[in-house]
């Protein structure tokens, strides 16, 4: 699986107001995003669809 670029993740946190971002944050964000994606795909397949929807994401993130 592809990772989100570290610089992009750091920029997102800084845009959100962080003055500093630990070096291990990008790795953890990538792990979290991959876990969410895997669960969303499972939800999609369980519903008999091929296309992941925002509803699949909501089920994973809100649960």
pLDDT along the chain (63 residues), means of 10: 95 98 97 97 96 95 82
DSSP three-state, residue 18: coil
Q: Hey, is 37 helix, strand or coil?
A: helix
**Taking a C-beta distance cutoff of 8 angstroms, is the pair 12, 5 a contact?**
no
What pLDDT does 42 receive? Answer: 97
**pLDDT recorded at residue 1:** 80
**Which one, of 7, 26, 10, lies nearest residue 18 by Cα?**
10
Distance from C-alpha of 54 to C-alpha of 63, rounded to nearest angstrom: 14
Structural domains in the chain, sorted by start: 23-63 (1.10.20.10)
d(CA 11, CA 8): 5
pLDDT at res. 11: 98
Q: What pTM was computed for the model?
A: 0.87
């Amino acid at each position: 699986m592809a990772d989100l670029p570290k610089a992009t993740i750091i920029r997102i946190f800084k845009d959100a107001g962080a003055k500093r971002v630990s070096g291990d944050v990008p790795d953890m964000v990538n792990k979290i995003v991959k876990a969410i994606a895997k669960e969303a795909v499972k939800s999609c397949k369980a519903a008999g669809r091929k296309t992941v929807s925002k509803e699949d994401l909501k089920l994973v993130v809100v649960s």
